[in-house]
């Protein structure tokens, strides 16, 4: 009886050690949450850079449109100056 009790206690000790080892190797919810949060920050940063590239493209288009307007206005001014010179 004592031998059986000793074997049971040894078995419990081994099981406890195995459980402790398993618990040490387990990933906790907090660790998973931390990793997900970091990945979300990375994704947000990438998206912000993408938005910036799009904004730059839009600004470039706006600048091109303004340059065209200025060019047309300068051309009109030159034409008006020529007409003025001819009349003078």
pLDDT at 7 over 90: yes
Asked if the structure places residue 52 within a domain, the reply is yes
Read off the pLDDT of residues 71-84 as tens digits, 9 standing for 90 and up.
Answer: 999 999 999 999 98
Asked if the structure places residue 61 within a domain, the reply is yes
The b-or-e profile of 47-65 (16+ CB within 10 A means b, else e) is eeeeeeeeeeeeeeeeeee
Asked if the structure places residue 36 within a domain, the reply is yes
Range of the domain at 52: 27-87
pLDDT at 88 over 80: no
Say which residue the tokens 């979300």 belong to.
Answer: 40
How many domains does one find in the chain?
1
Provide mean pLDDT across the span 37-45: 94
Distance CA 15, CA 2 (A): 20
Please tell me the predicted confidence (pLDDT) of residue 39. 96
Asked if the structure places residue 7 within a domain, the reply is no
Distance CA 83, CA 2 (A): 123
Rounded to a whole number of angstroms, the distance between the first and last alpha carbons of the chain is 130
Distance CA 28, CA 25 (A): 9
């Amino acid at each position: 009886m004592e031998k059986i009790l000793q074997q049971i206690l040894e078995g419990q000790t081994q099981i406890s050690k195995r459980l402790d080892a398993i618990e040490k190797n387990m990933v906790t919810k907090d660790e998973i949450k931390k990793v997900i949060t970091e990945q979300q920050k990375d994704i947000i940063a990438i998206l912000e850079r993408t938005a910036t590239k799009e904004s730059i493209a839009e600004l470039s288009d706006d600048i091109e449109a303004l340059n065209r307007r200025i060019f047309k206005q300068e051309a009109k001014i030159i034409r008006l100056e020529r007409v003025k010179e001819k009349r003078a």
